[in-house]
Amino acid sequence: MAGNGELHSLNLADGEDVAPPVAFGYPNGKSYALNLWNNIVFTTTSQGCAGNPNQMWAIDLNDPLKKVMTFSPRSGGLWGRQGAAIDSTGTAWAPTGDGVYDLANQRYGNGLIAAKVEGKELNNPRLEVEGFLRSRRDKTDHEWFIDPSGLSS
């Protein structure tokens, strides 16, 4: 991914583009790692670099239109420096930090979000929230716990 937000497909032998670059992110956004699952590329952005939103991004390389799909936690940044972790079902997981947790208003700060590409119809793929795990700080021993009551689907 280039600094201008374009995703490049490169020949590993010589570094030359093998296809035209595709607009994937915002210029000067802080994208963390590109992760590939079943020809879908995922990344996350954080810290509001250059005024860009903190969100999870996906693009299906098989989609002829190369539609960019995003999911925003609406609070806090996505802090996993290796980008989203993708499980065997294609669900992408990313931690959120420095935000507000407010399930009723779909603000998913300070926890772990899960999103999945839904809809394979032409022109209609989307990145949808699959769930959320909220962390809470125990006041006695300062350990982090996963709060299953924060799971939504």
pLDDT tens track for 111-131: 788 888 887 544 456 677 766
Number of domains within the chain = 1
Range of 90's domain? Answer: 6-150
> Considering the domain boundaries, does residue 95 fall inside one?
yes
Asked if 95 and 112 count as a contact pair (C-beta separation under 8 A), the reply is: yes
In a domain, 104, yes or no: yes
Distance of CA 55 to CAs 11, 13, 39, 78, 96, Å?
Answer: 29, 32, 20, 7, 10
**What is residue 31's DSSP assignment?**
E
- Inside any domain, residue 28: yes
Distance, in Å, from the CA atom of 109 to the CA atom of 123, rounded to the nearest integer, reads 30
Average pLDDT over every residue of 63-83: 86
- Does residue 89 lie within any of the structural domains? yes
Can you list the positions of beta strands (E) in 74-150?
77-78, 85-86, 92-97, 101-102, 107-108, 111-118, 126-137, 144-147
79: its two tokens: 């802090």
Residue 53 lies in a domain: yes
Picking from 89, 36, 43, 39, the residue whose alpha carbon sits closest to that of residue 62 is: 39
Would the pLDDT of 149 be above 80? no
pLDDT at site 131: 65
Q: Check pLDDT > 80 for residue 148.
A: no
Q: Which two tokens stand for residue 133?
A: 């795990």
Whether 122 is covered by a domain: the verdict is yes
CA distance 117 to 109: 21
132 domain-assigned: yes
Q: Is residue 1 part of a domain?
A: no
Q: Mind listing the pLDDT tens digit for each residue in 2-61? A: 999 999 999 999 999 999 999 999 898 888 899 999 999 999 988 877 778 888 999 999
Place of tokens 């119809």: 121
